[in-house]
Structure 1
Amino acid sequence: MTELVAGVDLGTTDTKAVLTRPDGETVAFARNPTSWTTTPEGRLETTGANLAADVLRTLADAVATAEAAHGPVRVTGIGLAGLAESGVILDEQGRETSPVIAWFDERGAAELDAQGRAFVAEFPRRTGLPLGTQWSLPKLLWMRAAGIHVDAASRWLNMPEFVAYALTGELVSEPSLASRTGLLDQATGRPWPEALDRIGAGPAFLPETRPAGRPAGYVREGALKGAAVTVAGHDHPVAAIGAGATGPADLFNSLGTAEVLLRSVPRILTDDERATLVGLGIDAGRHVLPDHAVLIGGMRSGLVMRRVLALLGADEPGRRDALDRRWEPRTDDGVTLMPAAPHDNDVTIRIRDGAGPDQLWAATLAYLSEQTTALLAAVNSVVGEHRTAVAAGGWTRMASVRRAKAAVIPRLRISALEQPGARGAAMFAARAAYDVPFDKVTRQFHETAERTTHDGSK
C-alpha cells in the first residue's frame, strides 16, 4: 500500500487537494467549487459543515485518482491551509452558532466605526492590521449586534481550524490564521483582552496555539482514519513556502482572488514597527514559520479582474483566452480605472468614445500594475529590495497577467507549480505525519519546485 500525504488549500473560489509521496513527488490532484450561499441581501456566507464537506469530498476525489493509477493508498498526514478571516463561533458543546461570512464581506462596518478613538488608534499597534471590515473582529461585532450569542464558553475557529476540528475533535488555533482575526496581540501571541471585551468573549475564545506542522489530532473515522492532521495556516504564506519563497530576501506574489506581495522577517516585530507598516498599507502578522513575522501588501486584484471579465462577457474560457492573446500594454487613455472609495474591492470605470473590450482589459491590468508598484515600494522601504521573486496562483495562467506583473516586479519568475498552497500544506502534513525536521521536508519538496519555474516575461 502506497503511503501519501495530503495538502489542502481551502480557497475562496475552489477547494484544492494534492496528494504527494513523503518526499514531495505529486501523485494526484483534485478540486471542487467552494460552497457559498448568497443571502437575500446579496451577502456571501456558508457554514463550517459545508466547507468541511468540501474538503472531504475533494480529498476523496484525490484519493480515487491516486488509487486508479497506483492501487491502494493510505493517507498518513493531512495539512490544512486556506482563507483567513472567515470563521465560525462554537458554543460550549462545540456546535456551530454563527454563519461563516466571506472574508471580503463588509458586514461590521457600522459596528467598527462605533468603537471609539482610543481603540482605533491602538488597533494597528496591537494587531498589525489596518482598521477595516476584512478581519474577523468586525464580523463578530456584526454577529453580536444581530443577536448571535457569545460568552465566556464560546470558541472561534478560522475555517482550516474548523475543518481540523471536524476531522479530529480537537480545538486548536494556528498563529498565522489567528493574526488575521483582529483578536490577537502580536506582541504577546495571545488574545488581546480589549478586543475580546468588545465582543463579550472570554480569554479562551481563541483556542490553544498549535504551530503548523504539529499534529492537531488524528482523523477519528472514515477512509482517512488515523491520519495526522495539522493546520498549516494562512494560504498566502503557506503558498510562499510551497513555491520556495521563504528567505528574508525572497518576494512572493500570490495571484488569486486576493493578490498579495509577501516578505518574511525572521523575528517578531515591535509595536512601533507594526504601526509604521500598517500606515504604509502593509499587514504585519505571524508567519506559519515559528518566530517569524510576515509582511503582506494586499489588494483584491482577482476580484477586480473577475468582475471586469464578467462585464466583458469574457468569463467563459474561450473568450477570456482570446482577450488574453490580444492584450498589449496600454497605449491610450480610452478607459480609466480608479478606486471607488472607501473600499478597494470596488473600482470606478471611466470610458471614452472608441474604447472597447481590449482597452478595458488593458486599463485593468495597468491599474493593478500601478497598485503593485506602490505596494512594492512600501515593502522595500521597510525591508529592502528583494533578490528573488516568484509569482503563483490561478491568474498566472493568463499570459497578459504574467507579462504585466513581470514589467513591474524585478527578477520575477512564474511558478509552474499548479497549486503551491496545497503543496505547502502537504509539506506540513509530511512534518506532522513523520516527525522529520521541516528543513529536510522543504529541501526535498523544493528540489521539485526549482525545476518547475520559468522567467515571468514568457
Structure 2
Amino acid sequence: MLPTITVDVGTTSVKLCLFDAAGALIASARHSTPTTKDTWGEIYDVEALQGIVSAFISELDPPDRASVARIAITGVGESGGLVLPDCSLASPMILWHDHRGADRLSRLTDSDRTLVYRATGLPVNANYGLSKVAWAVEEAGENASTAHWLNVAEFLAATLTGQRWSEYSLASRTMALDLTEKTWSPEIAALLDLDVDVFPELRTAAHGSPLTARAARDLDLAESVVVHVAGHDHMVGAIGADLRENELLNSTGTTEGLLFNRSVPDLDDAAALAKLANGISCTGAEYTLFASIPTGGSAFATLQSMLAIDAADLTAGIDAAHRRYLAGDVDLDRIPLVLPRFRGSPPPTKDAAARGIIAGLRTDTTRDELVLGCFLGMVRQFQDVLSLFPLRPERIKVIGPAGRNPLWLQLKADLLDTTLSVSQFPEVVSLGAQALASGTTARWEDCDPRVVLPDSPRHDLLAQWCERTAPQWEHLKGTPA
C-alpha cells in the first residue's frame, strides 16, 4: 500500500482518513455533508466541501503529511454538475436524490426505455445523472459548450489536478454509458437532446493525475502526490471487502446497497423488470449488479425523530429489544408491521414519492416493539429485494453502520437463514480507495470481520410470521404513493 488520504463524500457525511503504507488508520475525521438549497432543490456547498478537505490535510502532523503519496476520492453515485476547463462550475453541483430535470424522462417511450436498459443496464430513473445533465445544459446556455459533467468526487479531483475525467463505476451511474462498449453512448444522450461531448474522458480508478503546483503548495503536499477518483462508494466498498464471485456485499449507510460482481452485465427482460442496476467495477474489468434500498442507516434518525428520543436512548432500546429477541421473549404477533419506505421505495418500483407505513398499532404497543418492528421491516424489505437477483449468495459481507447494530444483524441472519460476515472496521470504503490508488488488493481479514450465525428455531418463527402477515405486507407495498 501507499500512504493515502481518502475522501468519501457520502449522502449525510464526509469521511476523511489517512492510511499509512501498512494500511493502518493514522488519522480520521467526519463532517456533515455540506449542502444548501437553490430555487430547484438541494445542492452541494462546494466551497465548504473543499474547505473540509483542506482543513483535514492542514491539521495532519507534518511528518504524516510529508509521507502522503496518494489522494483517493469516492462519492455517491448519481450526483454531479457541469465543470468548465478552469474547473469552475457552470451549474450547481446537484445531489443524487434531487430530481430536477425529471420531466424530460416522461417523454421517453417504452421502446426508448428498453433501449436505455439494453445499453446502460439502468432502469430509467431521475436519480441517475442523464436528466440532471439535460437540465444543467439547458440552464447553463452558452456556458455549457466547453463544460463536462463530473460527479462530485470527480469535481474534487479536477480542482486538485486541473484535469477532468470520469471513473468507470461513477460513469455507469449517469445512464449515458454503454456498458458493453464501455464508452459514452451518443444514441442514449440524444434521447434527451444532449451531445455526448458533454461527458469527459473515461478512466479506471487506477489511473490518477498529479497535483497541480498550486494545489501542492496550498495543501503543503509534494507535487508528486497523485490524485485518484476511486469510484462509487458502494463499489469501492466491494474492493475494500475483497468481494468474490457469488458473494453479496451488503453496504449499509444512509441507504442500504446489495451488490454482486459479475463477469457480464445482466441486460435481460427479468433484470429490467426488477429494475436492477448494472454497472462497471472500479477496476474497469468486471461488471456489478446492484440494488439500493433508500432507507438504511437513516432509519436510526427517523426513529429518533418519531419517538422523540436521543441517540443514546434509541441505542439502549435497540439493545433491550435485541436481548428480548435472543431470549425468546418476543410475541411476533404483537409487533407492528412496518413498511420502512421512509425515503422512497426500492426496486422493483423505485418510487421516490413512496413513504413508510406502520400497521398493527395497539393501545399498549411499546416503544421497544415499534423499534423491533422497524428493523424487522427493514430485513423483510431486504429479503424482497434480494429475491430479485438471479443468484443466491454463498456468503454475505456486511459493511457500514449496521455492524454496530446487533438487532439489525441478527434479524437479517435469522430471516435469511444465512451466516453474515460483518466488518468491525468502520471505513471499508476508504480501505478500498487506498487499495485502488495503490494498485494492490485489499484483504477482508483486515476489516476485522466477525460472524453472525442464524438460529434455526428463530428462522422458523420468522418464516411463519412472514407467511401469516404476507397478505397485509403485500397490501401495504401496493399502497399508492
TM-score when normalising by structure 1: 0.85
* Pairwise CA distance, 1:387: 2.3
Please state if 1:400 is matched with 2:395: no
- Contact 2:379–2:408 (8 Å) recurs in 1: no
SS at match of 2:196: coil
Return the alpha-carbon distance in structure 2 between the equivalents of residues 150 and 368 of structure 1: 45
Please state if 1:300 is matched with 2:294: yes
Return the alpha-carbon distance in structure 2 between the equivalents of residues 322 and 77 of structure 1: 41
1:262 to 242, 245, 259: 259
Name the residue aligned to 1:349: 358
CA distance 1:37–1:395, change in 2 (3 Å):
farther
* Pairwise CA distance, 1:4: 2.3
What amino acid sits opposite 2:449 in the alignment? T
Return the alpha-carbon distance in structure 2 between the equivalents of residues 219 and 154 of structure 1: 20
Name the residue aligned to 2:451: 455
SS at match of 2:221: coil
Name the residue aligned to 1:336: 337
CA distance 1:11–1:212, change in 2 (3 Å):
same
CA distance 1:144–1:170, change in 2 (3 Å):
closer
Per-residue CA deviations over 1:18-54 (Å, capped at 9, x if unaligned) read 222223222222222210114577x322244433333
CA distance 1:189–1:50, change in 2 (3 Å):
farther
- Contact 2:255–2:295 (8 Å) recurs in 1: yes
- Give the CA RMSD over aligned residues: 2.6
Name the residue aligned to 2:457: none
1:391 to 398, 407, 420: 398
Return the alpha-carbon distance in structure 1 between the equivalents of residues 368 and 105 of structure 2: 40
Name the residue aligned to 1:159: 152
* Pairwise CA distance, 1:86: 0.4
Return the alpha-carbon distance in structure 2 between the equivalents of residues 356 and 142 of structure 1: 47
Return the alpha-carbon distance in structure 2 between the equivalents of residues 56 and 317 of structure 1: 30
CA distance 1:18–1:386, change in 2 (3 Å):
same
Residues 217-236 of structure 1: matches in 2 within 5 Å? 217-220=210-213, 221=215, 222=218, 223-226=220-223, 227-236=225-234
Per-residue CA deviations over 1:170-220 (Å, capped at 9, x if unaligned) read 111100000001111112111121332345443322211110122133353
Name the residue aligned to 1:377: 387
SS at match of 2:385: helix
2:278 to 284, 305, 308: 284
What amino acid sits opposite 1:368 in the alignment? M
* Pairwise CA distance, 1:377: 2.2
- Contact 1:334–1:352 (8 Å) recurs in 2: no
Return the alpha-carbon distance in structure 1 between the equivalents of residues 66 and 190 of structure 2: 48
Residues 25-44 of structure 1: matches in 2 within 5 Å? 25-39=24-38, 43-44=41-42
CA distance 1:171–1:87, change in 2 (3 Å):
same
Report the identity percentage. 25
1:169 to 162, 179, 194: 162
- Contact 2:121–2:265 (8 Å) recurs in 1: no
What amino acid sits opposite 1:374 in the alignment? D
- Contact 2:246–2:260 (8 Å) recurs in 1: yes
Return the alpha-carbon distance in structure 1 between the equivalents of residues 353 and 375 of structure 2: 15
- Contact 1:255–1:301 (8 Å) recurs in 2: no
1:416 to 398, 420, 424: 424
What amino acid sits opposite 1:423 in the alignment? L
What amino acid sits opposite 1:337 in the alignment? V
2:197 to 201, 204, 207: 204
SS at match of 1:327: helix
- Contact 1:152–1:202 (8 Å) recurs in 2: no
- Contact 1:372–1:408 (8 Å) recurs in 2: no
Residues 242-257 of structure 1: matches in 2 within 5 Å? 242-244=240-242, 246-257=243-254
Residues 180-219 of structure 1: matches in 2 within 5 Å? 180-219=173-212
Please state if 1:18 is matched with 2:11: no
What amino acid sits opposite 1:252 in the alignment? L
Residues 111-190 of structure 1: matches in 2 within 5 Å? 111-144=104-137, 151-190=144-183
Return the alpha-carbon distance in structure 2 between the equivalents of residues 27 and 297 of structure 1: 33
CA distance 1:301–1:149, change in 2 (3 Å):
farther
CA distance 1:194–1:49, change in 2 (3 Å):
farther
Return the alpha-carbon distance in structure 2 between the equivalents of residues 39 and 215 of structure 1: 33
Unaligned runs of 5+ in 1: 432-437
Name the residue aligned to 1:434: none
Q: Which has the higher contact order (CA 8 A, sep 6+)?
A: 1
